[in-house]
């Protein structure tokens, strides 16, 4: 296997870190707790489902532009890093999320309840493979210079490099949210009666 370029390897490392975080997030988490939705937030399962949907939509738009870029011979001239505005936008996605930077998700990528924890996690992991495949197939392109239309705000165009960094920052954003919900479910479980806790025995395999 060819050695990864440093910037592509860095993106892969960040993707792997998000995946490890997701694995720890769902470890020994019962379906009931994974599907619990606190007031004003999504459940853990819904966070994972949203990430899977968003990744798929983003990558679909990015692939079309990448294919056109390859046809036009727009091969790599520099590392896959965002420009100034791209870095600003990626930074706004990073956790912890502060009130002025909370964003309402487009309806097309809102979770589709009821989503089981197991199916949401499987969808998220499949979307991770989609991102890895994109990195493998298109690493030789000039990702920092090839634009694609934002699938949610068509008048905005990002570079493919910015799109990749947005995907990963967006994953960290909602993993942060999901961990907050998981901790809340633990507090909620500690307040329940022993009989109620005994019924909560359905764990992910």
- What pLDDT digit, counting tens, does each position of 13-38 carry? 999 999 999 999 999 999 999 999 88
Strands (E) across the chain are located at 147-149, 157-159
**pTM for this prediction:** 0.86
Q: Report yes or no: 165 and 8 within 8 Å, Cβ to Cβ.
A: no
Q: What is the dihedral of CA 58, 161, 6, 125, to 10 degrees?
A: -10
* pLDDT value of position 2: 56
Q: Residue 194: pLDDT above 80?
A: no
Q: Domains of the chain (ranges plus CATH)?
A: 14-189 (1.20.120)
**Which contiguous run of DSSP H or E holds residue 148?**
strand 147-149
């Amino acid at each position: 296997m060819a050695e990864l370029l440093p910037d592509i390897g860095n993106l892969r490392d960040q993707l792997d870190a998000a995946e490890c975080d997701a694995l720890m997030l769902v470890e020994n988490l019962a379906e009931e707790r994974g599907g619990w939705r606190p007031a004003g937030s999504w459940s853990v399962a819904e966070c994972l489902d949203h990430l899977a949907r968003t990744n798929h939509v983003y990558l679909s738009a990015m692939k079309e532009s990448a294919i056109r870029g390859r046809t036009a011979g727009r091969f790599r001239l520099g590392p896959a890093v965002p420009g100034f505005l791209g870095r600003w936008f990626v930074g706004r996605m990073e956790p912890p999320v502060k009130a002025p930077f909370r964003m309402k998700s487009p309806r097309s990528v809102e979770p589709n309840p009821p989503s089981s924890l197991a199916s949401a996690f499987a969808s998220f992991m499949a979307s991770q493979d989609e991102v890895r495949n994109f990195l493998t197939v298109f690493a030789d392109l000039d990702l920092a210079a090839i634009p694609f239309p934002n699938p949610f705000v068509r008048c905005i165009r990002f570079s493919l490099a910015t799109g990749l960094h947005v995907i990963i920052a967006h994953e960290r954003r909602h993993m942060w949210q999901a961990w907050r919900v998981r901790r809340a479910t633990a507090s909620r479980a500690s307040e329940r009666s022993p009989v109620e806790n005994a019924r909560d025995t359905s764990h992910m395999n």
